[in-house]
Amino acid sequence: MLGLEDNKKIVIVGIPGVGKTTVVNKIAEKLNQQNKSVSVHSFGTVMFEEAKKSGVQSRDELRKLNVEQQKNLQKKAAETIANSQEDVIIIDTHAFISTKEGFYPGLPNYLIQILKPTHFIAISAKPQEIYDRRTNDDTRNRDIISIGSIKKELDVQDAMLSSCSVLSGSPMKVILNDEGKVEKTADTVINAIGL
- pLDDT, mean of each 10-residue run, the chain (195 residues): 66 92 94 94 88 85 80 89 91 86 87 95 94 78 77 94 95 93 95 90
- Domains by residue range for the chain, with CATH: 4-192 (3.40.50.300)
Q: Are 1 and 87 in contact (CB under 8 A)?
A: yes
What is the reported pLDDT for 139?
A: 65
- Rounded CA separation 192/184 (Å): 12
Q: Are 94 and 44 in contact (CB under 8 A)?
A: yes
Contact partners, residue 107, CB within 8 Å, separation at least 6: 11, 13, 93, 95, 115, 160, 161, 164
Tell me the per-residue pLDDT of 70-84, one tens digit each, with 9 for 90 and over: 888 889 999 989 888
- Rounded CA separation 83/89 (Å): 10
Tell me the per-residue pLDDT of 7-33, one tens digit each, with 9 for 90 and over: 899 999 999 889 998 999 999 999 999
